[in-house]
A and B are shown apart, each in its own frame.
Chain A
Amino acid sequence: DVKVTQSSRYLVKRTGEKVFLECVQDMDHENMFWYRQDPGLGLRLIYFSYDVKMKEKGDIPEGYSVSREKKERFSLILESASTNQTSMYLCASSFPGSGRLYEQYFGPGTRLTVT
Chain B
Amino acid sequence: QKEVEQNSGPLSVPEGAIASLNCTYSDRGSQSFFWYRQYSGKSPELIMFIYSNGDKEDGRFTAQLNKASQYVSLLIRDSQPSDSATYLCAVRYGQNFVFGPGTRLSVLP
Q: Which residues of A contact B (CB under 8 A)?
A: 31, 33, 35, 40-43, 45, 48, 50, 58, 90, 96, 98-109
The A-B contact count (CB < 8 A) is 57
Given A40-B101, A101-B51, A106 and B95 contact (CB-CB distance below 8 Å): no
Q: Which residues of B contact A (CB under 8 A)?
A: 8, 31-32, 34, 42-46, 49, 51-52, 88, 90, 92, 94-102
CA distance A26 to B88 in the complex (A): 25
Q: Determine whether the beta carbon of A43 is less than 8 Å from that of B88.
A: yes
Q: Determine whether the beta carbon of B44 is less than 8 Å from that of A106.
A: yes
Chain B positions within 8 Å of A35 at CB level: 99
Chain B positions within 8 Å of A31 at CB level: 95
Chain A positions within 8 Å of B101 at CB level: 40-42
Q: Determine whether the beta carbon of A101 is less than 8 Å from that of B49.
A: yes
Q: Determine whether the beta carbon of B88 is less than 8 Å from that of A42.
A: yes
B14 to chain A, nearest CB (A): 26
Chain A positions within 8 Å of B51 at CB level: 99-101
Q: Determine whether the beta carbon of B97 is less than 8 Å from that of A104.
A: yes
Q: 10 tightest CB-CB pairs across the interface, nearest first?
A: A42-B101, A100-B51, A43-B99, A106-B43, A109-B43, A103-B46, A106-B44, A100-B32, A108-B43, A42-B99
Given A40-B101, A100-B31, A103-B49, A45 and B96 contact (CB-CB distance below 8 Å): yes
Chain B positions within 8 Å of A58 at CB level: 96
A19 to chain B, nearest CB (A): 19
CA distance A109 to B46 in the complex (A): 15
Chain A residue nearest in CB terms to B99: A43
Known: A33-B97, A58-B96, A101-B51. 14 other contacts (CB 8 A): A40-B8, A40-B101, A43-B44, A43-B88, A98-B31, A98-B92, A98-B94, A99-B51, A100-B31, A100-B49, A101-B32, A103-B34, A104-B90, A109-B43
Chain A positions within 8 Å of B32 at CB level: 99-102
B2 to chain A, nearest CB (A): 10
CA distance A102 to B51 in the complex (A): 11
Q: Determine whether the beta carbon of A42 is less than 8 Å from that of B102.
A: yes
23 A-B residue contacts at CB 8 Å?
A31-B95, A33-B97, A35-B99, A42-B100, A42-B101, A43-B88, A43-B99, A45-B96, A45-B97, A48-B95, A90-B44, A98-B95, A99-B31, A99-B32, A100-B32, A100-B49, A100-B51, A101-B49, A103-B34, A104-B90, A104-B97, A108-B42, A109-B43
